[in-house]
Amino acid sequence: MVTFFQNRYKSIICEDDPYLLELTRYIHLNPLRAGIIQDWEALKEYPWTGHAGIMGKRNRDWQENDLVLSYFGRSRKAARKKYEEFLKEGFLRERDQN
């Protein structure tokens, strides 16, 4: 048996830009960390986080991507590239610390 939700749901207000970005990175890297998917290309297609939407691989009317992308550049293409580099940097840093 697998438990998806162990404790009560908790919502946190992101008042700080760096915290928002770190939280986004943390959430979107979870499938890769957990071994659910094997590589970056699979992460771009993974349907259960917002990463595929941010990377332009899935179109969800309810998902707001522009806010996150605005931290990484003016054009969507450049912002997506820098966003992905941001995720990879965090993933490599975590891996090296463990």
Find out whether 31 and 18 touch, Cβ atoms under 8 Å: no
- Greater confidence (50 vs 3) lies with 50
Residue 4 inside a domain? The answer is no
Residue 83 inside a domain? The answer is yes
pLDDT at 74: 93
CB count within 10 Å of CB 57 equals 14
Q: Return mean pLDDT, the chain.
A: 85
Residue 25 inside a domain? The answer is yes
Q: Quick check: 5 pLDDT over 90?
A: no
pLDDT in tens, 20-49: 899 899 999 999 999 999 999 999 999 999
* Joined tokens for residue 35: 């071994």
Residue 56 inside a domain? The answer is yes
Residue 45 inside a domain? The answer is yes
* Residue from 11, 12, 24 nearest 70 by CA: 24
- Greater confidence (51 vs 10) lies with 51
The predicted model scores a pTM of 0.78
For 37, the domain range is 17-97
pLDDT at 11: 60
What is the domain count for the chain?
1
